[in-house]
Amino acid sequence: MEYIKKHVRDVIDFPQKGVVFKDLTTVFKDPRALHIIGWDLAQLYRDKGVTKVVGIESRGFIGASILSFELGAGFVPVRKPGKLPADTISASYDKEYGKDTIEIHRDAITEDDVVVLHDDVLATGGTMAAAYDLIKSMNPKKIYVSFIIELSALNGRDRLPAEAEVTSLITY
């Protein structure tokens, strides 16, 4: 993980003053770092019978795509309002810098699914808590929660349900 940490770029005051943005584009553009991320994410879930990996728009799509491919699972997008073409369900939430709504296709998850919910960064946890509620309302067999980076000072884990199995590759 030291190799990955070296490639994470801190961007001060983005997207607004006071935020230290953990930029993963500098990780994803490095072939070795990208490979390590994909492999290490997949190792956590190989024996879990995962059928769908849900990625949160837009930075979560990258890790979720790699993870779903590695696990032989399907990929499902959670997107911002108005982006998904078919019938959706939605949830609104507060985040570190503003308010937001997310949507998922109503038929994306079934009761037979074992789901990994993935985003790049756990900050305040609002995004993932809303996504978790959405997926939970679809009654899958199991939901795992996965991040590349966790910003522990923001206590995002406290916002997630106690039952959620949360894993982060890197904690700051």
Alpha-carbon torsion, ordered 57, 117, 13, 22, to 10 deg: -110
Least distance to ligand AMP from the beta carbon of 157, Å?
10
**Active-site residue identified among 2, 32, 59, 70:** 59
Peptide bond into 58 cis (omega under 30): yes
54, 91, 104, 121: residue in contact with ligand AMP (rule CB under 6 A): 121
Q: How far is the CB of 100 from ligand AMP (least distance, A)?
A: 8
3-state secondary structure of 102: strand
CA–CA gap between residue 39 and residue 70 (Å, rounded): 8
Residue 7 interacts with ligand AMP (CB under 6 A): yes or no: no
Please say whether the dihedral angle defined by the alpha carbons of residues 69, 61, 123 and 151, taken in this order, is positive or negative: positive
Binding of residue 146 to ligand AMP (CB under 6 A): no
Find, among 66, 68, 39, the residue nearest to 52 by Cα. 68
Distance CA 129, CA 75 (A): 19
The region of 26-34, 72-80, 116-124, 133-141 touching ligand AMP under the rule CB under 6 A is 116-124
126 binds ligand AMP (CB under 6 A): yes
Q: Report the C-alpha gap between 104 and 38 in whole angstroms.
A: 24
Which of 55, 63, 77, 156 touches ligand AMP (CB under 6 A)?
A: 156
Q: Which of 96, 103, 150, 159 is catalytic?
A: 96
59 is catalytic: yes
Among 127, 143, 148, 168, binds ligand AMP (CB under 6 A): 127
- Kindly list the catalytic residues: 59, 96
Q: Which residues bind ligand AMP (CB under 6 A)?
A: 19-22, 56, 59-60, 95-96, 119-128, 151, 156
